[in-house]
Amino acid sequence: MGGVGLVAKLRAVLRVKDFRKLWLSMSLSSFGDWLGLLAITATATSLVEGFAAANFALGGVLLFRLLPAIVLGPLAGAFADRFDRRKTMVITDIIRFALFASIPLVDNLIWLFVAQFLIEAFSLFWIPAKDAAVPNMLRKDQLEPANQLSLVTTYGLTPVLAAIVFAVLTSMGSELMRLIPGVDEVDLALFLNALTFLVAAFVIWNLPSISGRRAAGAIKAQESFFGSLKKGFSFAGHTPLVRGLVVGITGAFAAAGVIIATGQAYASALGGGDAAYGLLFGAVFIGLGLGIAIGPSVARDLARERIFGVAIVGAGGMVLLMSLTFTLWIALLLVVFMGFFAGIAYLAGFTLLGTEVEDEIRGRTFAIVQSLVRAALILSLAVVPFGVGLIGRHELDLGVVAVPVTGERVMLLVAGLMALGVGVLAYRQMDDGRPVPLLADVVTALRRDTTARRRLAGGGVLIAFEGGEGAGKSTQVRRLQEWLTSEGLVSRATFEPGATPSGAGIRSIVLDRAHTGIASRSEALLYAADRAQHVHDVLRPALDAGEVVITDRFVDSSLAYQGAGRTIPLDDVRMLSRWATEGLEPDLTVLLDLPPEEGLSRARGRAVADRLESESLEFHQRVRQTFRALAEAAPDRYLVLDARQTPEEIAAAIRVRVAELLSGLPLQTLPQPSAAGARPASPDGHAGHDGAHGRHHPHAQTGATPQLHP
């Protein structure tokens, strides 16, 4: 997914009205949280005198932000699964409003600690309720871009905005005192922070879709509160996917705690001071933001279960290299890469929790993860400084050179090894015996078969037609091929399944109604086998020869029919198809969109229905929804047309788009402009044709630039 695809996905997510409102309220609360953190830390240091006392006060505030999670986190998750999530979020926002507003009114360090503890305690009830509610608002394929939007907002935009606002407020201290007697700039920041929670409560109260009443009611009726809590821990411990996520995220954050705790000593060892520490700190967030924002586009075809473990291993590798480098700019680069991998892992982990964990237990799962994350951070922050001090600073004399051995570098080495270990363990827990070896999967995911690469290789172009039953794909394939031939281009019409001799046998199995006992995964493997042979025998040779290849159905049909239709995880089908095609991707996909009721009526009116045409209306509705979602996610590669238009209107629109695509490409041309085209494709079915291919012209001229006239 490129930049255009990401923007399109984000726009699609924000078009969901309830999610848009929730995201706005979350953004406001996040802004308030960061502003509140700045104001509270400033308040804590202002209420005491002396350098040591100020640092103790600051440490106390941070400690009281983390401690509640250990005690209350799992309880809050069970609460979120048993009670109305909307009411939970509204009540906790109102309480947080009151607590933040009370801090400047009481103006006491002890109350500051107490209020901070209570604020974090109530936040623990808000977070799992929100995390568990979001997946109910969106389709599964929309959850990752929604998480990207939320995480970039929380860790990228709102901290910067809060810092700017706080800086502006503190610079206006004397003016504010004159305007509002008795209220200084820090007090105003706290009041403003409190107000953000009140506004968020109002917004969330008007979002009944996040209540989760049915799931909560079912849990209440089946088990006690402590029974549901026990079930949450049991689920996390006995489900390989969740166990891998918990191990990976907890271990990664423990390693992150080591990096935080050694940051200043590491900066000093590199010959820098506070400025170097600030740069290293900022580099972490730059990398984290990049990983969350563009990471999925880099590894878009890898299954999230694999991305998670691989990314943690990548982050661990960067930390290991950090422990060995002695140059500041190299360390900064490694920190950015470490943050990048961590951002990918964080996004993948929370997306998997949202998509793969059932609604009735999702709140408890999120809460357990959040609690373990904070516990790991506290443990690292508490233990690592002692380790650094005990190891001290030494030199290892190797004869040629003396290598410094210092506590912070040893701790970073341990953190890197820890991250590598938990990454491998998480991968082994979550991989689930996938048929494609990891290295081959990563290589084929990174080796994109783009138009630019094929232009260099020979100029061939692949156009795929997709759509539900009866959409008229075969008619449009034939019309497009005839037009291309009339324009003097070598074009080839093909189809799936059945375009090769071995594929014909597979076609007879997958479409014959007599084969009703085929398992869903067996069916997906059969289509992948047909596609692999199709690519090897037909598509690759034609594309390498510079032809325009038009295929009736390709990978998207498997994602829609075997993925959504048969309810196989789309990542599994995508991985299988990518492996079968060696990463081949259409330059243009034409989606003929038609309501399944009308399409089935057309298809069944022509002939006896095949296995797929005989499926339920709900099956075909899932297929259509997936086709539309795929097109929505990558609008630069899709042409979506209403199949209820006349064939002439559809053909004209296709010619315009194809002319734009082919303009200026060095495609293979016919020796004579009037040469006849290949035989037309057969009537429409699920990738069903009579097996005819376009005529191949082995002696055609190459290198000409087509001048197309739609």
Q: Before 497, cis peptide (omega within 30)?
A: yes
505 among annotated binding-site residues: no
- 345 Cβ contact partners less than 8 Å away, ≥ 6 residues apart: 248, 249, 252, 291, 307, 308, 311, 312, 315
- 92 Cβ contact partners less than 8 Å away, ≥ 6 residues apart: 122, 123, 125, 126, 129
Angle, helices 407-430/304-322, rounded to nearest 10 degrees: 170
Sign of the CA dihedral 479, 482, 486, 489? positive
> Can you read off the two tokens belonging to residue 537?
């025998």
Beta-strand pair 588-593/402-406:
unpaired
583 among annotated binding-site residues: no
- The vertex-570 CA angle with 565 and 575, nearest 5°, equals 130
> Can you read off the two tokens belonging to residue 94?
């109102």
Would you say how long the chain is, in residues?
Answer: 710
Share of the chain residues as helix, strand and coil, in percent rounded to the nearest 5: 70, 5, 20
> Can you read off the two tokens belonging to residue 91?
């009540």
CB atoms < 10 A from the CB of 698, how many? 6
The most distant pair of C-alpha atoms in the chain lies apart, rounded to whole Å, by 92
407 among annotated binding-site residues: no
Angle, helices 274-298/140-152, rounded to nearest 10 degrees: 160
> Can you read off the two tokens belonging to residue 238?
């006995």
468 among annotated binding-site residues: yes
469 among annotated binding-site residues: yes
Sign of the CA dihedral 26, 28, 34, 40? negative
Element (H, E) at 462: strand 461-467
Q: What is the dihedral of CA 166, 171, 172, 177, to 10 degrees?
A: 90
182 among annotated binding-site residues: no
Of 684, 657, 463, 436, nearest to 554 by C-alpha is: 463
Report the binding-site residues: 467-474
Report the binding-site residues for ATP: 467-474
